Amino acid sequence: MEIWLDTANLETIKRAQQMGFLYGVTTNPTVVAKSNEVLEDLLEKILALQGGPVTVQVIATEASGMIAQGKALYAFSPRIVVKVPVTAEGLNAIHALNKENIPTMATAVFESSQALLAASAGAHYVAPYFSRICEADIDGIQVLKTMLHLLRQYKFNAKLIAASLRTPEQVRECCEMGAHAVTLNEKVFADFIQDHPLTTQSVQRFAKDWETAKKRKSLPL
């Protein structure tokens, strides 16, 4: 299971990196715009803070523009994974970039047929918007399970990364169903790593009991 962060907040990225489980960072045009940073400067900072991949989304709407932007991003750093929306033009771009050995993440995915097409075109990752699927009165769990089944049934190399997660419960649901990866925004990340109250109680009890232990000879305990 890969845990990514969906943010441009450098402090949040640094904290996750220090915890040892951060696999990579996803961004999108909205996240970058909110950072109020020049894209190149922001990417350099994120790449320096952690050693994993960083996704950056193309903004062109035609395949030729997407391909040109994807090549420029990959030239900026080979650790960049190019995010491409699953449109007809986007599928053309994913296929072309894959032939150039440039990794892509198919984004804005809402149904299993899109996942199938993106994987067939050569996408390295498929990113369904889980919470937005659920908000459309569709069984999001079943949609993602079907996507996973298709990826495994036809032995695609693409991984499913669950995106647009709103709660820790949704993160756990995606993990339990076998999603290859999840990407968490700042709020969900903070909630997901929150200390469990029973863990806190246990630590407090250990500390109280330790007060009655014999003095140590040299160990700083």
The encoded tokens of residue 105 equal 């993440």
Catalytic annotation, pick one of 14, 34, 71, 83: 83
Q: Which residue has the tokens 């009655």?
A: 212
pLDDT at residue number 100? 97
Beta-sheet pairing, 159-162 with 181-184: parallel
Q: What is the CA radius of gyration of the chain?
A: 20
Helix boundaries (H) for the chain = 10-19, 29-35, 39-49, 63-76, 88-99, 112-121, 130-135, 140-153, 168-177, 186-192, 197-210
158 and 124 Cβ atoms separated by less than 8 Å: yes
The whole-number average pLDDT for the span 147-172 is 97
CA distance linking residue 111 with residue 42, whole number of Å: 32
CA distances from 38 to 19, 72, 109, 196, 208 (A): 28, 16, 28, 38, 51
pLDDT at residue number 105? 98
Q: Which of 87, 141, 154, 98 is nearest to 121 (CA)?
A: 98
| 122 Cβ contact list (under 8 Å, min separation 6) | 94, 95, 97, 98, 99, 104
pLDDT at residue number 38? 97
Q: What is the pLDDT of residues 29-77, one digit of tens each?
A: 999 999 999 999 999 999 999 999 999 999 999 999 999 999 999 999 9
pLDDT at residue number 72? 98
Q: What is the pLDDT of residues 117-148, one digit of tens each?
A: 999 999 999 999 999 999 999 999 999 999 99
Annotation says 83 is catalytic: yes
DSSP state of 216: P
pLDDT at residue number 77? 98
Q: What is the pLDDT of residues 188-208, one digit of tens each?
A: 999 999 999 999 999 999 999
The whole-number average pLDDT for the span 80-89 is 98
Q: What is the pLDDT of residues 48-58, one digit of tens each?
A: 999 999 999 99
- Quickly name the fold that domain 2-195 has: TIM Barrel (3.20.20)
pLDDT at residue number 130? 97
Q: What is the pTM of this model?
A: 0.95
59 and 29 Cβ atoms separated by less than 8 Å: yes
CA distance linking residue 122 with residue 105, whole number of Å: 10
pLDDT-derived band at 173 (thresholds 50, 70, 90) equals: very high
pLDDT at residue number 53? 98
Mean pLDDT of the chain: 97
